[in-house]
Chains A and B, each alone.
Chain A
Amino acid sequence: MSTLRTCDLIINVPGRPDGFALNMSIEPGQIWGVLGPNGAGKTTLLHTLAGLLPTRSGQVILNEAPLVELKRRDIARHLGLVFQERQDSFPATVMETALIGRHPWLSPWESEKGDDQKCAQQALEAMEVDHLSDRLLSTLSGGERQRVAIATLMTQNPDIWLLDEPTNHLDLHHQVKVMNLLRNQAAENKAVFMCLHDLNLAARWCSHVLLLYPNGDACWGSADTMLKPSALEQLYNQKLMTVQVDGAPVFVPVSAGV
Chain B
Amino acid sequence: MMRPIALPLSVLAIASLLSMIISVGVGSVAISPAEVWSVLIGDGSGLQRTLVLELRLPRTLSAFATGGLLAVAGALMQVLLRNPLADPYVLGLSGGAAVGALFAMLAGLGGALVSGSAFAGAMLATVMVFGLAHGTGSWSPSRLLLTGVVVAAGWGAVITLMLAISPARELPGMLYWLMGDVSYARAPWAGLGLLALVCLIVIPLGRSLNVLARGPMQAAALGISVRPLEWLIYVLASLLTATAVTMAGSIGFVGLIVPHMLRLVLGNDQRLILPACALAGGTLLVLADTLARTVIAPEQLPVGVITALLGVPTFLYLLHRSR
Contacts and interface: CB of A to CB of B under 8 A. Distances in A.
Contacts of A90: 78-79, 82, 84, 213, 263, 268
Nearest to A76: B223
Contacts of A111: 2, 207, 271
Interface residues of A, number: 39
A156 B218 contact: no
B224 interface: yes
A76 B221 contact: yes
Contact of B211 (A74, A77, A100): A100
A60 interface: no
Interface residues of B, number: 32
Interface in B24-65: none
A91 interface: yes
A97 B211 CA distance: 9
B169 interface: no
B204 interface: yes
A73 B207 CA distance: 13
Contacts of A50: 221
A174 interface: no
A103 B82 contact: no
26 contacts: A50-B221, A51-B220, A52-B217, A52-B221, A72-B226, A74-B223, A76-B221, A80-B221, A83-B217, A83-B221, A87-B214, A88-B214, A89-B84, A89-B213, A90-B78, A90-B79, A92-B267, A92-B268, A93-B1, A96-B1, A96-B210, A100-B214, A100-B222, A103-B207, A103-B211, A111-B207
The 8 closest A-B pairs by CB, nearest first: A76-B223, A104-B223, A87-B215, A108-B204, A73-B223, A89-B82, A81-B221, A111-B2
Interface of A: 47, 50-52, 71-77, 80-81, 83, 86-93, 95-97, 99-101, 103-104, 106, 108-109, 111-112, 117, 136, 139, 156
